[in-house]
Amino acid sequence: MKDKHLRLRLLDEGYDIFAPREGQTWGYRYGPSIMRHGDGRVDAWFASPGGGGVEADWFTYKHSDDDGRTWSDEKVVMYPTPESMDLFSVCDPAVIRIDGWYYMGYTSTIYENGGGVCNNAFVARSQNPDGPWQKWTGSGWGETRETTDENGNPLTLRWQGNPAPIVYYDEPWENWGAGEPSFVKVGSTLYMYYTWNSKDKDGRGFSQTRVATADLTAGDDWPRTLTPRGVAIRRPGGCDSSDVVYVDEAEKFLILCTDRRFTEQSCLAVYESDDGLSFTRVCEVRTHVGERCHNCGIAGGEDRHVSLKDSTLVGYAYGSRWGFWGTRFHSAVIELTDEPDFSDAEKPAAPYPVDGWPMPDEPWPIHLTTLPHFHVLKVSRGSERIDLEWCDTAYNFLPCPEEEVTVDGYDPQIVRFEGLSCIPLRPGFTCAVAHWKGRCVEFPITVQPESMPDRSEDEGKRKLAAFLPQVLEYRLSLSANELKQLRGRGIYDDGSWFEVWKGIHLSGYDETVLAVENGSDFYALKTGETSLRAECEGFSFTVRVVVTP
């Protein structure tokens, strides 16, 4: 229906599905991903604070059996994997169900001291909406290890895996980067929308929603087929992440986002597309929308489809104090109009107060966490006690009674547990899973060789032991005036690692195709292909660079 346009209307003032607890000075559940199964069942996932002063965000989950009128108690269902590419956060959930699997897209970064910059997009999967989740590792889902138990019997272990980005941000690290994914399935094609916030080579900032497609006939390996398809929206400065559904009767893609976020003039903005690749703004919604809203979500079916015949759910975070946000859900309808409809744009948004909820009489555990989040041992130092804490809905942390905790999932050839004491047996890597009152947490353990230097917070004491590529190919668009940054994975003699961009020397490239500046940054001069050699402290690797018009 190319001659018609989409319009969204909120039908009510809505209700808060979350508010911080009374007495709290912070608390949030933003960016809801909402799935309706068509029989009254609704699943919803939210970005919530992380824990232990190390992780920025976790994902919480709620379920409804009566189309959102009442909800289950929340619990944490996904969290970062320490010592990995998503070590700092899992935020901006986006869930779709394909062939019996729930796929969760999310944002994360390793730049925990950079204020949440240099983000990448990731994906994990589970056969249940509340996990356990297997993270995409670049070659498969999660990690399986074949080992033997204490008696020499075969033992198969399954861990969430060392995650690899499905969209890697390859421009200067100090920008926000890539993330905030959303998925839609149309036929055998998966459309993935994601944010790209960066600067071009002349220092001009930009904010885009980009789109990539994947071939679902590839089965479990569909992330390998993910192909960039261009820019879906060039967003104005106050416009945030896109949540996408497909409207069946109209044969149109609908993007919902918030604009003028965090202001009294905030609104919901609707974009539409006939091909899923290029979108146009066609509607703004302010009636019933809370002031200072941000990070919204719109409910879709398991494949992220919606119908004009049915109402849907829309949710967003809002509030006047940073980090002290309510999360409000509304019933909504999608309609067709003859012309784009901005008649609601001048109406006032609603000044809903964020009123704290009372603390429940019997707080329940929403998650477990260990401090620290990963453990580095040596056989010579003997056992180490694992500090295990439980977290309630107000993010109060209390120690778990050791006598009520079980620990399993670890390789008994590497470590042994006695209660919460971990006894190293020989050098190697394993994960372990702690359980208490229906909650669990997986945490990594490394037993270092005796000759390896101890971990040190003083980066000047460690020496580079390997320098590896993060990606093998960079693609630039000449017309986009892009500035790329080559960052390698530096692995150090104490077993730690991080991305390296300082002290890199780039060489071996066609100087008519590329120009290099600031050591590790480069941009296109003309279309073509060339190799690019990166060297750092005597280590080197070579990548491919392709420049398109």
Of the candidates 440, 466, 462, 442, the residue with the CA atom closest to the CA atom of residue 452: 462
Rounded Cα distance, 387 and 412, in Å: 20
Amino acid sitting at position 179: G
Residue 116 and residue 89 in contact, taking contact as beta carbons nearer than 8 Å? yes
Same domain as 181, residue 69 = yes
| Per-residue pLDDT, 459 | 74
Compute the residue count for the chain. Answer: 549
Specify the pairing of strand 42-49 against strand 57-64: antiparallel
Total tally of structural domains belonging to the chain: 3
Domain range enclosing 526:
462-548
Question: Closest Cα partner for 302 from 184, 381, 471?
Answer: 184
Q: Using the 8-state DSSP alphabet, how is residue 400 labeled?
A: P
Same domain, 281 and 411: no
Q: 448, 477, 506: which is the final residue of a domain?
A: 448
Per-residue model confidence (pLDDT) at position 460: 76
**Residue 472: C-alpha distances to residues 37, 456, 468, 537, 545 (Å):** 40, 30, 10, 20, 9
- The CATH number assigned to the domain holding 39 equals 2.115.10.20
Classify 304 in phi/psi space as left (phi over 0), alpha (psi -120 to 50) or beta. Answer: left
Q: Are residues 329 and 287 in the same domain?
A: yes
131 with 215, same domain? yes
- Phi, psi dihedrals of residue 77, rounded to the nearest 5°: -120, -15
The owner of tokens 């555990």 is: 365
Domain closes at, from 320, 337, 354 = 337
Predicted local confidence at residue 458, as pLDDT: 75
Is residue 438 domain-shared with residue 400, that is, in the same domain? yes
pLDDT mean for each 10 residues of the chain (549 residues): 93 97 94 96 97 87 97 97 96 98 98 89 98 97 96 96 98 97 98 97 96 98 97 92 97 97 95 98 97 97 97 97 96 97 93 95 95 94 96 94 97 97 98 97 97 84 95 96 98 96 96 96 98 98 98
Domain boundary among 290, 321, 337: 337
Type of residue numbered 359:
M
| Long-range CB contacts for residues 228-234, cutoff 8 Å, separation at least 24 | 228/475, 229/277, 230/277, 230/278, 232/193, 232/208, 232/271, 232/273, 232/276, 232/277, 232/278, 232/279, 233/208, 233/209, 233/271, 233/279, 234/206, 234/207, 234/208
Residue 345: inside a domain = no
Query: What's 262's DSSP letter?
Result: T
Say if 488 falls within a structural domain. Answer: yes
To the question of pTM greater than 0.75 for the whole model, the response is: yes
Place of tokens 């949440």: 116
DSSP 177-229: EEEEEEEEEETTEEEEEEEEEEE-TTS-EEEEEEEEEEEGGGGGGGGGG-EEE
Q: Is the domain of 55 the same as that of 82? A: yes
Position 52 scores a pLDDT of 66
State the Cα–Cα distance between residues 251 and 437, nearest whole angstrom.
47
Peptide bond into 372 cis (omega under 30): yes
Q: Is the domain of 37 the same as that of 97?
A: yes
Q: Residue written as tokens 């329940």?
A: 364
Check whether residue 399 and residue 516 sit in a common domain: no
Are residues 35 and 133 part of one domain?
A: yes
User: Do 315 and 196 fall within a single domain?
Assistant: yes
Q: Is 123 helix (H, G, I), strand (E, B) or coil?
A: strand
Same domain, 117 and 194: yes
Q: Long-range pairs for 49-53 at CB < 8 Å and ≥24 separation?
A: 49/395, 50/79, 50/80, 50/89, 51/367, 51/369, 51/389, 51/391, 51/395, 51/397, 52/369, 52/370, 52/371, 52/372, 52/373, 52/389, 52/397
- Smallest CA-to-CA distance from 169 within 151, 187, 181, 186 is with 181
Measured CA to CA, the distance from residue 521 to residue 508 in angstroms comes to 15
Say how far apart CA 517 and CA 498 lie, in whole Å: 22
Residue 395 sits in the same domain as residue 489: no
Look up the CATH number of the domain holding residue 537.
Answer: 2.60.40.1080
pLDDT at residue 130 in the model = 97
